[in-house]
Structure 1
Amino acid sequence: MTQWGRWMGVGALALGLAGTVQAQAVAVAPSTTAQAVDAAAVARHYAVLVHATYEDTLGAALSLQQRLLALVAEPSAERLEAARQAWRDAREAYGQTEAFRFYGGPIDDDKGPEGRLNAWPLDESYIDYVKGKPGAGFINNRRIVISKAGIAGLNERGGEENISAGWHAIEFLLWGQDQRADGAGQRSFEDYVDGKAPNADRRRQALTVITELLVDDLRSLVRAWQPGAPYRSRFEAGAQESVRKIIVGLGSLSRGELAGERMEVALNTQDQEDEHSCFSDNTHRDIVTNALGIRNVWTGRYVRTNGSVIEGASLQALVAGRDAALAARTGRQIEDSLAAAQAIQAPFDQEILGGANAPGRQRVQATIQSLVQQSKDLVAAAQALGITRLTLVKP
């Protein structure tokens, strides 16, 4: 069970509800005329876009893996910082893939790897030492075998915060606990040097194995969406049903996950532990890339990490064929959400502090409000397409 499920569950949302990619909040017109677009074309192009985004994510993860292998081979402050930057870079691509979730696709069906990839928040002491507990975590328990099967088996064992794998486990191993108001965690490279820190050998091994598992899981997603693969073929043949799934994914990410779990919870608690990437202080970029992923799907346009552009039959064009004003309004709202997300300043754990009129809290609240309206517009778009059965993640 993933963390969003723990906080919010899944329920029906009534139809009555009215390198690093730097996203630019500019209007994007439909790339294909409404007359030329039907549900089947949208489903086919969506599959192209999904496959490309997962390919880019896998490529970035492989680059991260090389930086991590260099770090464990010869730990140094410079190699640790290079690994941290590679993690940030890889998150730029992965954050955009979150728009492909929430409808039982390859990432989060019953056998999907999402719980190993991006589960959070995690109990740091389940992995490694924390302040006041120098012997905590499976890294410091030499009776536990560190292997891909072992790490996968430990994930969420005994509790949903018992996370042993994925992006945030790697993040913690690179940054350590964030105990500063003005910056990220300050783990030393000496944690990976024999004789400088207890169980440095196991820490090196854990970082290597967790990354191998991450790469394996991402590679499985690329395979699932490659041309001719069974899941992709079924999705492309789904036409209207596949469009329904696409809107379920966008609406669920907009309201339930991004506005709700990832922002409202932290805004209400003002607790650093409730921010998404709390060790690296990368949460502001998580929010932007999630919003960008929604725009990618809506417009049918994706800028790849090599700078090339994929464009094709879009959901926006499909809706415009039924209700041009609604399509335009929804597109503007999606752009507004992205612009609001880009206005959030780092570190996010400082943005959420203070009273209701604190500038940071107002920036976060403005993004939440825009995402909430966006989800309502997406539901209206579904209705315009004759889709009356939506089961969205909701707060």
Structure 2
Amino acid sequence: MNVTTVLKGAVAASLIITSSTALAAVTKDQVVEHYADLAHAVFADALKTAEDLDTSINTFLAQPTELGLANVKQAWIAARVPYQQTEVFRFGNAIVDDWEGQLNAWPLDEGLIDYVAADYQYELGNEGANANIVANERLTIGATTLDVEIITPELVANLNEVGGSEANVASGYHAIEFLLWGQDLNGTEAGAGERPYTDYVVGEGCTNGHCERRAEYLKAASSLLIQDLQWMEKQWSSAEQGNYREQLLADNENNGLRKMLFGMGSLSLGELAGERMKVALEANSTEDEHDCFSDNTHNSHYYNEQGIYNVYTGTYVRVDGTLVDGPSIANLVEQKDRSAAKEIQKQFDLARAQVGKLVTSAEKDNQYFDQLIAANNPRGNLLVNDTIVALVAQTGSIERAATIVGVDSLSPDTADHEF
């Protein structure tokens, strides 16, 4: 059984969990405080799995083998599980949204980082699209010449959006993903990236050149990921003083509830239904697929949805299997209107089941997200479109819950999409 299956089994167990606070009266300030506890738990798990990924990378680079690269890939997939559940905290919490780009920006013009196919598609006008940091110690992008001889976490961070293009993503999960899988050259056909482990072999066995620099880049990107997650974990920790958690809990409880509900609604609507599904479906574009190099997109979508559910129910299953459980928005809704609470819960269950069909499609039917969005796959298109519809309906239930608990005019972010 692989890492993904084990972790998904732990989360699946959470689907039947009823919050232990369901029968006890809860207050708004208790719900907001538990929201901070959930955030801390999930960011701590994201940090822990990033550290596990870093250990796996270092083990692999010490003696590159095909099995070693496969193990690193599994560690990357495992690291995505808690991180994707953090994204519900982005919207409404500017400290998270402003920070998130360095860890999860996409799509990226991967030619900035390493070798690519001669015909690869990149953002028009992006002068850094073929810079290839791995192969060059000095870069000229526009009128700027950059010294990239020594690849450090700081250098990688500073190269994000170099030349003014948002497609120049140098750091984060997707930069690491590309360095592990390489380009997915299969288009909307079956198959993910197939980078050979020999791209990291030092000496005569090195393929595609610059293996030592490629390893330096991978280590630097992994170290930066850990540094960033360490900082964010502290922002939600009850053991820290003067952090974001302290500010949140000192604010009005209704403002805290608004942040919670706005985050849920905006991830459900504008981000997950819109940016991560609708854009790719309408353009039949694998470049707009979230985890495009690894074909892990179905899992990323699933755990985004799980994160929304976590905040609504006040529950989170940690990567070690333990349950975080406490006062929730669901409790507040039930205290006000039991009938509405049941209807809203049903809509959440329907949406989560629908997103789960993307996982089933990939893992049982071998139809991955990049295949589902192909122009010649009407059944796949319908599956993705049905998922978008379910997420839109879920957002309506989130807005209904907001009204019930006293948060008016929620207006979740649509990311300029029409549904």
Q: Same fold (TM over 0.5)?
A: yes
Given the alignment of the two structures, is residue 171 of structure 1 paired with residue 177 of structure 2, yes or no? Answer: yes
Measured against aligned partners, the alpha-carbon deviations of 1:222-275 in whole angstroms (never above 9, x if no partner) come to 111000433112222332211110001000000000000000111111111110
404, 409, 418: which is aligned to 1:384? 404
How many residues are matched? 373
Amino acid of the residue matched to residue 97 of structure 2? D
- The aligned runs of 1:242-391 (5 Å cut-off) are 242-344=256-358, 345-346=361-362, 347-354=368-375, 358-391=378-411
> What is residue 53 of structure 2 aligned with on the other side?
64
> What is residue 94 of structure 1 aligned with on the other side?
83
**Structure 1 runs of 4+ with >3 Å offset:** 22-31, 133-136
Amino acid of the residue matched to residue 142 of structure 1? E
Q: Distance in 2 between matches of 1:323 and 1:264?
A: 33
Measured against aligned partners, the alpha-carbon deviations of 1:12-61 in whole angstroms (never above 9, x if no partner) come to xxxxxxx6233438455443246611110101111111111111111111
Bigger CA drift: 251-260 or 179-188?
179-188
Amino acid of the residue matched to residue 227 of structure 2? D
Q: Identify unmatched segments of 5+ residues in structure 2.
A: 1-5, 121-129, 139-147, 363-367
SS at match of 1:302: strand
Q: Distance in 2 between matches of 1:211 and 1:228?
A: 26
SS at match of 1:31: coil
| Cα distance, 1:52–1:312 mapped onto 2, change above 3 Å | same
Q: Distance in 1 between matches of 2:105 and 2:56?
A: 23
Q: Percent identity?
A: 40
| Conserved? CA contact 1:27–1:335, under 8 Å | no
Amino acid of the residue matched to residue 44 of structure 2? E
> What is residue 116 of structure 2 aligned with on the other side?
130
> What is residue 124 of structure 2 aligned with on the other side?
none
Q: Identify unmatched segments of 5+ residues in structure 1.
A: 1-18
SS at match of 1:276: coil
| Conserved? CA contact 1:148–1:213, under 8 Å | yes
Amino acid of the residue matched to residue 132 of structure 1? A
> What is residue 6 of structure 1 aligned with on the other side?
none
- The aligned runs of 1:133-212 (5 Å cut-off) are 136-143=131-138, 144=148, 145-157=150-162, 158-180=164-186, 181-194=189-202, 195=204, 196-197=206-207, 198-212=209-223
TM-score (norm 2): 0.85
| Conserved? CA contact 1:40–1:237, under 8 Å | no
SS at match of 1:107: helix
> What is residue 41 of structure 1 aligned with on the other side?
30
Bigger CA drift: 230-239 or 247-256?
230-239
Given the alignment of the two structures, is residue 21 of structure 1 paired with residue 34 of structure 2, yes or no? Answer: no
> What is residue 73 of structure 2 aligned with on the other side?
84
| Conserved? CA contact 2:153–2:224, under 8 Å | yes
Measured against aligned partners, the alpha-carbon deviations of 1:263-299 in whole angstroms (never above 9, x if no partner) come to 0111111111110001000000001111111111111
SS at match of 2:96: coil
Shift of 1:383: 1.6
> What is residue 127 of structure 2 aligned with on the other side?
none
| Cα distance, 1:298–1:314 mapped onto 2, change above 3 Å | same
Q: Distance in 2 between matches of 1:315 and 1:27?
A: 17
SS at match of 2:324: strand
Shift of 1:136: 4.6
Given the alignment of the two structures, is residue 213 of structure 1 paired with residue 224 of structure 2, yes or no? Answer: yes
Q: Which has the higher contact order (CA 8 A, sep 6+)?
A: 1
Q: Distance in 1 between matches of 2:406 and 2:198?
A: 59
| Conserved? CA contact 2:19–2:325, under 8 Å | no
| Conserved? CA contact 1:31–1:299, under 8 Å | no
